[in-house]
Structure 1
Amino acid sequence: MKSKVSKNSFLIAGMFFISASLLAQTEPDDIALVNDEFQESYYESLKHKGMENYDKAIVSLEKCLKFQPQNAIIYHELGKNYFFQKDFNNAETALIKATQIDPNQKWYWIDLYDVYYEIKNFNQAILTVQKIIPFDKNYKEDLVSLYMYTAQFDKALVLINELDETVGKTEMRDRYRLEINSQSKTNASDKKDLEKAIQQNPKIEENYISLIYKYSDNGQEEKAYEVAKKLENNIPDSEWAQVFLFKYFINDNKGQEAVIAFEKVMEGKQIDKKIKFKMYNELLIFVLKNPSYEPQLDKATAYFESDSEFNVYKEIGKFYYKKSSWDLAIKNLEKAYQKDNTDIETNVFLLASYEEKANFESMLKKASDLVDLYPSQPEYYYFAGKAANKLKNFKKANDFLESGLDYVVDNIDLEIDFCTELAEISKQLGSSQKSDEYLAKANMLKKKKK
């Protein structure tokens, strides 16, 4: 199914520049006149288009072309008006002209794509979408559909696999994958066909990728590994080979080989960042089970230190938290906090790390700051209240916890924690009745949980 991207119909910026040659040949008074006529005709075209008088809009735009025959925006407007008239031949001609004059304007390509899609010229639509993708990667979804329409299952499968890895699976792509896998004689991506294609032309990377995924989908991991090795041998600079090999090395507990594959991917430029992030997380899990590789993990972390899309300090901080290495957890989670203090998970891990170290002053200060920044987030009130309680500032602790309890919604565990903490603080403040009420509520919630 074709995706649609909302677009601005009126691209007026840069509209009113008269060509240098026209300026050179015209007196100042005449220049003003020409400019006025151009603007008047252009606004007339917009008015007529808004009223769906596309014929009149086209006449006005043709007047504009007499003054500025190389104005891409006018050709774009012409193309749209012809499209609305369902005059697809003239729409195509005008939009092609717009893209020739200004190939860096993505909306010209998008409207040209609309023409080809409307007339079901999917082969031309593919070429056009490939021009759009550098501007807008969302159109890769359209490209998958177009490959399916034109029975280019090899290319569709490669792109489906890439999108599944980088942006997550969708129901539509899952259906396409099933359709491809259900093909038999007509399926160009059949394993035997792919093996033959690799043998005939060993330098086409996507054939290896499709075959690896096919074997993996069928649970034939040994065969997939063999293809990955073959890809590495035949195309030594293939970063995809290292992506797949990394996975197999991790699964086989071959740490040194996994680290080498990881570094090759990190140092390359072909693999999408999201895949690199996923590989890093897999390496973290591996090192958690194999602590001897921690020095290699430090080097791996350095690849992401300046990346604005991935807070590597959060991941390494969580890693050390799970190892009960509280000082290292705090060190990295504080860096993660400095980079992005909006992430709840980062902040909770940091506050919990302070608690584990009994650093209640830092815990109270950080939690109080977070309450001020995000006053509807109950977790921050809980940590602030607990820290104040540990520091024997019972009134302050009570204020934090009573305020925060109002924000707890559909989280029984957190509500139990609040009530338990408030029961203890109420007793310290000399209110046994309130303490009993909170304990009773906590017990009731525990029974409800069961």
Structure 2
Amino acid sequence: MKIKKYLLQLFFFGILCIPAKVFAQAEPDDIALAEDSFQDSFYESLKQKGIENYDKAIVALEKCLKLQPQNAVVYYELGKNYLSQKDYKKAYESFSQASLIDPKNKWFYIGMYDVCYQTKDYAQAIVVVNKLVGMDMKYKEDLTSLYMYTDQYDKALALIKDLDDTVGETPQRNAYKQQILKDSKYRIGEKDQLLEAIKKNPKDESKYIALIYLYSESNQEEKAYEIAKKLEKEIPDSEFAQVGLFKFHLNKNDGEKAVAAMNKVLDSKKIDNEVKYKILKEFLVFVKNNPQFNTDLDKAVGYFSNEDQATLTKDVGRIFYERKNWERAIHYLEIYSKNNPQEVESNIFLLQAYTENKQFDVLAKKASELIDFFPMQPDFYYYSGLANNQIKNYKKAKDFLEMGMDYIVDNRNLEINFNIQLGEAFNGLGDAKKKEYYFLKADQLLKQKK
């Protein structure tokens, strides 16, 4: 009984919503009975909702509505139960009815917003959140996201500027802004606003950074450099100035100055990893044609945490692999493989890089080690067979290839390669009949591909 009394007090404001005329003609005993009945049904609804019996909770709440048809709290509870059942139409109607009865309670609008968000009805969510903003300004952040989801970039950009000016910038809003400003039609006005903002407050570092980004994105490197130099002059210890300077020096093919600027950026605690990754990738492109900076690239990777380094060595290794720079690809993929020995994909790339670089002794050893880790991975048997064929260890090649053939599943290219290498192995062993058998089988498989 104490629990019921507590719940009655908790939702007392809902009961106060009852018009006096509801009980105007009722006897005092009748009123007490009605109140007890409402209390019992409401308590029952909360109990059933707590154990996820939403149907029974709804039945109890419908009893409450018969007693108090204008109780906003009952409609709100109905909305929550319907939402739990994913009956979005009834949930929205219930929350909406609650808001009509009590239009100043933000929780009823939050209920409607939850329904809109779960159903991805972002257009209606904007209508609801605009009302919420009048009650709680923090929902401006949600409104920004909703404008982005519905491609209303003009409204999003205006709201982002308003929030940046009033509560400060956030990484999420900066990401939205960068997304919008990829469209050139939004850049001109933004550049003018930033230039004006810098005039008003030359010590606001964030405005320089945004302007450097805009100029860089529109290939106006000279202007980006001018802003970076101006930032460096106004704020001599600005690490962000080095971002613009790095781009400028790189485009001027001045590797020494680019490296100096890059190292300052990578060493910065203020600059986030997204910017650092971007700079590292740009430097990687530069190193491709300027291999004398390989050591600086290694050092740059070393600036990141161990976890980030693992990802970077894989990504950098793959980039060198795609550019057929086998030596550098091997360098990074070996580092990654050492720290992540049980990842199949990167090890396959490493083995192929050894093959392209004709390091067959190393290939044979590494493939054999990987077979111990992955006894059912056919690729590693293939590379072991290929390597042993190349170093004229034909018996070993044959054994590995025959073992690995059993593990091939729905991989026609690998099956063809296995047959070619088995043909090579039997050729080396002097078995002409089996050599022809496997070469012929490889040829048949190739024809089936076409």
Which TM class, normalised by the smaller chain length? 0.5 to 0.7
Query: Relative to 1, partners in 2 of residues 1:336 and 1:297: Cα closer, same or farther, differing over 3 Å?
Result: same
Kept after mapping to 2: 8 A contact 1:363/1:387: no
- Match among 123, 133, 158 for residue 152 of structure 1: 158
Query: Relative to 1, partners in 2 of residues 1:415 and 1:395: Cα closer, same or farther, differing over 3 Å?
Result: closer
Query: Relative to 1, partners in 2 of residues 1:360 and 1:260: Cα closer, same or farther, differing over 3 Å?
Result: closer
Q: Which amino acid aligns with 1:128?
A: Y
Separation in structure 2 between the aligned mates of residue 144 and residue 233 of structure 1, nearest angstrom: 41
Separation in structure 2 between the aligned mates of residue 431 and residue 92 of structure 1, nearest angstrom: 90
Kept after mapping to 2: 8 A contact 1:242/1:264: yes
What's 1:95 paired with?
Answer: 107
Aligned length: 378
Q: 5 Å matches for 1:202-217?
A: 202-205=202-205, 207-217=207-217
Q: 5 Å matches for 1:111-130?
A: 117-119=126-128, 121=130, 124=133, 127-128=138-139, 130=141
Q: Which has the higher contact order (CA 8 A, sep 6+)?
A: 1
2:47 aligned with 1:43: yes
What's 2:252 paired with?
Answer: 252
The alpha-carbon deviation at position 428 of structure 1 amounts to 4.0
2:371 aligned with 1:365: no
CA offset digits 1:363-422 (Å, max 9, x no partner): 23233135436x3xx53332132245444314413314533654424x5xx565434312
Separation in structure 1 between the aligned mates of residue 61 and residue 161 of structure 2, nearest angstrom: 41
What's 2:402 paired with?
Answer: 399
Separation in structure 2 between the aligned mates of residue 53 and residue 229 of structure 1, nearest angstrom: 70
The alpha-carbon deviation at position 424 of structure 1 amounts to 0.6
2:375 aligned with 1:342: no
Separation in structure 1 between the aligned mates of residue 371 and residue 438 of structure 2, nearest angstrom: 23
Alignment gaps of 5+ in structure 1 = 1-17, 23-35, 63-72, 100-106, 134-138, 166-172
CA offset digits 1:314-335 (Å, max 9, x no partner): 3566669936379855752442
User: What TM-score comes out, normalization by structure 1 length?
Assistant: 0.60
Kept after mapping to 2: 8 A contact 1:154/1:210: no
**Identical-pair percentage:** 28
Q: 5 Å matches for 1:424-443?
A: 424-428=424-428, 431-440=431-440
Q: Which amino acid aligns with 1:117?
A: I
2:241 aligned with 1:230: no
The structure with the larger Rg is: 2
- Match among 398, 408, 413 for residue 411 of structure 2: 408
Separation in structure 2 between the aligned mates of residue 161 and residue 420 of structure 1, nearest angstrom: 55
The alpha-carbon deviation at position 272 of structure 1 amounts to 3.9
Separation in structure 2 between the aligned mates of residue 123 and residue 198 of structure 1, nearest angstrom: 34
Alignment gaps of 5+ in structure 2 = 1-5, 11-39, 69-75, 84-89, 165-170
Separation in structure 1 between the aligned mates of residue 448 and residue 229 of structure 2, nearest angstrom: 55
What's 1:66 paired with?
Answer: none
The alpha-carbon deviation at position 206 of structure 1 amounts to 5.1
User: What TM-score comes out, normalization by structure 2 length?
Assistant: 0.60
Kept after mapping to 2: 8 A contact 1:228/1:245: yes
Separation in structure 2 between the aligned mates of residue 446 and residue 315 of structure 1, nearest angstrom: 33
What's 2:354 paired with?
Answer: 353
Q: 5 Å matches for 1:28-427?
A: 40-44=44-48, 47=53, 56=62, 83-85=92-94, 86-87=96-97, 88=99, 93-95=105-107, 117-119=126-128, 121=130, 124=133, 127-128=138-139, 130=141, 142=148, 145=151, 148-150=154-156, 152=158, 155=161, 162=175, 181-182=184-185, 188-189=189-190, 191-205=191-205, 207-235=207-235, 239-307=239-307, 310-315=310-315, 322=325, 324=327, 328=331, 332-338=335-341, 341-342=342-343, 344-350=345-351, 352-353=353-354, 356=359, 358-369=361-372, 371-372=374-375, 375=377, 378-389=378-389, 390=391, 391=393, 392-400=395-403, 402-403=405-406, 406-409=409-412, 411=413, 417-427=417-427
Kept after mapping to 1: 8 A contact 2:229/2:245: yes
SS where residue 324 of structure 1 aligns? helix
Kept after mapping to 1: 8 A contact 2:221/2:247: no
Kept after mapping to 2: 8 A contact 1:382/1:404: no
